Amino acid sequence: MGRASGKVAVITGGARGMGAAFARRLVEEGASVVLTDVLSDEGLATAEALGDHAHFIAHDVTQADQWAKVVEVAERRFGPISVLVNNAGIAAYGPIEDTSEVEFRRIVDINMVSIFLGTKAVIPSMRRAGGGAIINISSAAGIVGLPQMLGYVGTKFAVRGMTKSAALELAPLNIRVNSIHPGTIDTPMSQLSGDPELTAAVNSVTPAGRVGQPDEIASVVVLLASDECAFATGAEFVIDGGLTCH
């Protein structure tokens, strides 16, 4: 039996990058997974490659009615949800003075409001499952500040706080809530591939001397989803190669 055997997981932003790595590892460990994303072609391809224990649904995480549909599809196909990985997110760069209100509100909606909507949507299903694990993907930027990333840093700090608040409220329901704080990971969002100068710059400020890989974060997702981590809730797991030790 795998470490996630019998679990039913929903992973947002599951089409590629870290989300796809999470889905692959959870399926390998015995879970059934519903991947959601706005990238339909990539999401369908990822789910197809994972086989019968994976299903893709197009999903805008900022829309409450679409969250209801995700829960409905997951339960109909695999059963009550026992794992939610709130992974969908965007990064935005630029000076505060040059950032429009529309741009700022968009990052808040995708990175922060979606956590509220997803958590709220899965609680009844997790009750039916007898409990569950909610895993919120924050960032090393939810631990320390960065210049010219006000919206991103602000929302990732918010995810950290929301995680702790939800953990306190949901503990009596046997629902654990934890946050993961990756450093720079080699994914399409990091834009490192094909840019040796940027990669070298990131490596130079990371004590481990390199960027992380999606599978290294996926290992922690599997741990938090499994019953091995049954006593962990409200915690933050920093996987950043030592970046926030400075």
Instruction: Output the pLDDT for position 187.
Output: 83
Stretch (H or E) spanning 144 = none
Model confidence at 191, pLDDT cuts 50, 70, 90, reads: low
Assess whether pLDDT exceeds 90 at residue 202.
no
Instruction: Output the pLDDT for position 190.
Output: 64
Which position among 152, 179, 187, 226 bears the catalytic label? 152
Instruction: Output the pLDDT for position 80.
Output: 98
Active site residue 152: yes
Contacts with 21 (C-beta within 8 Å, 6 or more apart), sequence order: 214, 215, 217, 218
Stretch (H or E) spanning 6 = none
Which has the closest alpha carbon to 178: 142, 211, 214? 142
CA distance 33 to 245: 34
How many C-alpha atoms does 136 have within 13 Å on its Cβ side? 34
Instruction: Output the pLDDT for position 178.
Output: 98
Model confidence at 195, pLDDT cuts 50, 70, 90, reads: low
What does the pLDDT look like over 78-98, one tens digit per residue? 999 999 999 999 999 999 999
Instruction: Output the pLDDT for position 112.
Output: 98
| Ramachandran assignment for 36, one of left (phi > 0), alpha (psi -120 to 50 degrees), beta (any other) | beta
E-strand spans in 13-161?
32-37, 54-58, 83-86, 132-137
Give the SS3 label for residue 33: strand
Assess whether pLDDT exceeds 80 at residue 114.
yes
What does the pLDDT look like over 35-81, one tens digit per residue? 999 999 999 999 999 999 999 999 999 999 999 999 999 999 999 99
Instruction: Output the pLDDT for position 75.
Output: 98
What length is written for the chain? 246
Domain extent listing, the chain: 8-239
Locus of tokens 């429009």: 100
Locus of tokens 């809730």: 233
CA distance 88 to 99: 21
Angle of the 114-129 helix axis to the 64-77 helix axis, nearest 10: 30
Which has the closest alpha carbon to 211: 233, 230, 228, 189? 189
Locus of tokens 């010219």: 148
CA distance 236 to 166: 13
What does the pLDDT look like over 215-230, one tens digit per residue? 999 999 999 999 999 9
What does the pLDDT look like over 14-42, one tens digit per residue? 999 999 999 999 999 999 999 999 999 99
Instruction: Output the pLDDT for position 223.
Output: 98
Considering the segment(s) 8-239 as one domain, its CATH architecture is 3-Layer(aba) Sandwich (3.40)
CA distance 243 to 28: 30
